[in-house]
Amino acid sequence: MFSYLKKKFFSGAPEPAAPADAPPPPAAAPHAAALEAQQAPTAAASSSNPAPPSTTAPDATLSRLSWFERLKSGLRKTGSSIGSVFIGTQIDEALYEELEAALLQADTGVQATQYLLDDLRLRVKASKATDPAAVKALLAAALADLLRPLQQSLPIGAQPDGPTVLMIAGVNGAGKTTTIGKLTWHLSNAGASVLLAAADTFRAAAREQLGVWAARNTVEVISQQGGDPAAVSFDAVTAGRARGRDVVIIDTAGRLPTQLHLMEELKKIKRVIQKADPSAPHEVLLVIDGNTGQNALAQVKAFDAALGLTGLVVTKLDGTAKGGVLAAIATWGRERGAVVPVYFIGVGEQLADLQTFDAQEFAQALLH
Ligand SMILES: Nc1nc2c(ncn2[C@@H]2O[C@H](COP(=O)(O)OP(=O)(O)OP(=O)(O)O)[C@@H](O)[C@H]2O)c(=O)[nH]1
């Protein structure tokens, strides 16, 4: 059962057909069917008091619509300032200038803004668009195309013997532990057995927070007060192998890229994980706060230089005015010839508020 589900929800297998009587999906929700089992109950799940996940299966179509609506509403601040550019009646230089300012204000960054403007001009010319509303749709298409390489499924269960090991890093408060809790819930629902490692051995609250998520998901957590984070990670990978777990998720302490000794500690954790399993960690994921805009891109670059990132989770896209940062991340990846995929995005503190990233859905939600 797990092998089927894990393919379906974490490795991008074909989506099942929608029921015949289902209402049409929103304009852009190409991965909506794949999202259905990730759609969760509406139980509040704040880090301080996560509520247990409901066992009731939500209606697939409603869940799809509900996620798209939440994404749309989360991105409203970013989208409305970009969208306001298209309220006029003329396609002229003033429109492109206003658009440039709006994109920069949304933390899209200079390169991505320039790329999008150039691409948009070509699309406008090719389509002979005459009204600004049509140009807005063309911008959504250009953005979706730019973001598409970021859209990849988290590979789970590809290891022939032993668990898939996920190492999670990020600055303080980016949403690492909350993301791990939500991911664990999604994975458990998909039939995977999960083991958590509390490699933040300094902060008791961090261990407790992970412990709460572990209890809610009825999964085990390896932790050790005041111990060496690398040793805890080693123990967790060894235990995960011995106990036949499908996934081991290692929660590391928050740190700034400028705290060089703590970045060295992260590198050590990775090295020691490799001692427990030479093929691990199979994924090194950076959790970034979508509210931090260009700063998040700087974090991606710095953590990638230290660890070699394999993926990103972008949290707190609810209410941000800086949602353009995903375009900046895509452009950075494009320029260096290797994108770091965005596996999941988060738009809130509830379990269902973390979902797989879909480029077209994101662009449509932003520029609907
Ligand atoms: N609004 C919103 N809040 C979120 C989201 N994801 C996480 N949070 C909240 O952000 C806060 C910090 O989340 P944590 O998971 O504790 O962050 P962390 O990175 O583990 O923090 P440290 O362990 O201190 O480094 C919590 O209050 C979370 O509930 C999101 O997508 N949207």
With residues binned 3-state (H G I as helix, E B as strand, rest as coil), the percentages for the chain, rounded to 5, are 50, 10, 35
CATH 1.20.120.140 maps onto the chain at: 71-150
* CA 243-247-251 angle, 5° bins: 110
283-289, strands of its sheet edge to edge: 220-222, 194-199, 247-252, 164-169, 283-289, 311-315, 342-346, 354-356
CATH superfamily of 71-150: SRP54, nucleotide-binding domain (1.20.120.140)
> Ligand 1 pocket check: which of 349, 351, 354, 355 to mutate, most ligand atoms within 8 Å of Cβ?
349
Write down the residue that tokens 């063309």 correspond to. Answer: 138
Lowest mean pLDDT among 57-61, 260-264, 310-314: 57-61
- Taking only the tens place, the pLDDT of each residue in 177-210 is 999 999 999 999 889 999 999 999 888 888 899 9
Q: Output the ligand 1 site: residues, CB below 6 A.
A: 46-47, 170, 172-178, 200, 206, 254, 315-316, 318, 346-349, 353
- Binding residues for GTP, by number, are 170-177, 251-255, 315-318
73: nearest Cα among 319, 291, 344, 289: 319
Q: Domain 164-358 carries which CATH code? A: 3.40.50.300
Which is it for the CA torsion 54, 60, 61, 63, positive or negative?
A: positive
Select the more confidently predicted residue: 45 or 105.
105
- Binding residues, by number, are 170-177, 251-255, 315-318
- Taking only the tens place, the pLDDT of each residue in 214-234 is 998 899 999 988 889 999 999
| 174 Cα to the center of ligand 1, angstroms | 5
pTM for this entry = 0.85
**CA–CA separation, 113 and 298 (whole Å):** 17
